Structures are given as C-alpha cells and as structure tokens.
Amino acid sequence: MTAEQLRALYRQQLLIEAVVEPSLDSEGWVVECRHTSGGLMALTNAEGIEQCFTDIDQATLNALEIGFQQVRIAD
C-alpha cells in the first residue's frame, strides 16, 4: 500500500505497529505495518512495488510519516 493509503488506515486506527526490517529481495530496508486484523501491509510505490530503502534511518522516517510515534526495528 502507498504511504497515503497507510496514513488513511492509521487515521482510522486500523494499524497498530510499524516495523522496519531487512528486505528479503534486495539489500536495504522495508517498512511494514501491522493491521488490527493481524496481517502485515508493506509500504509500496504507486505501482504496488515494495519500497526498499538503502538506509535504515530513511525507512524509519517513512514509517514515522505514516503517523506512528515509534517504529520497531526487526533484524
């Protein structure tokens, strides 16, 4: 989901956690948000491709911009 879509879900209180973790597909970091139903939703671009950040700080900043006050770092 795009950042805008995730922000809308966050405002509706449907997301409970943001997680930054290493990408399984490439070098870098991805952002995933845990939905209240338990599923994970990845931050993607407009084409639906998972966004991968080379820098953990940039990934964390993108998670915070969704609306979260804190972000869990998984390694």
Show the tokens assigned to 31.
Answer: 């952002």
Residue 75: what pLDDT? 80
Task: Say what percent of the chain tops pLDDT 90.
Answer: 93
Task: Please give the pLDDT value at position 25.
Answer: 84
The pTM of this model reads: 0.91
Judged against a pLDDT cut of 90, whether residue 66 lies above it is answered with yes
3-class SS string, the chain: CCHHHHHHHHHCCCEEEEEEEECCCCCCEEEEEEECCCCEEECECCCCCECCECCHHHHHHHHHHHCCCCCEECC
Domain assignments of the chain as residue spans, ordered by start: 3-73
* For residue 8, pLDDT beyond 90: yes
Q: Give the pLDDT score at 26.
A: 82
For the residues 11-16, what does the mean pLDDT come to? 98
Distance in angstroms (rounded) separating the CA atoms of residues 48 and 3: 11
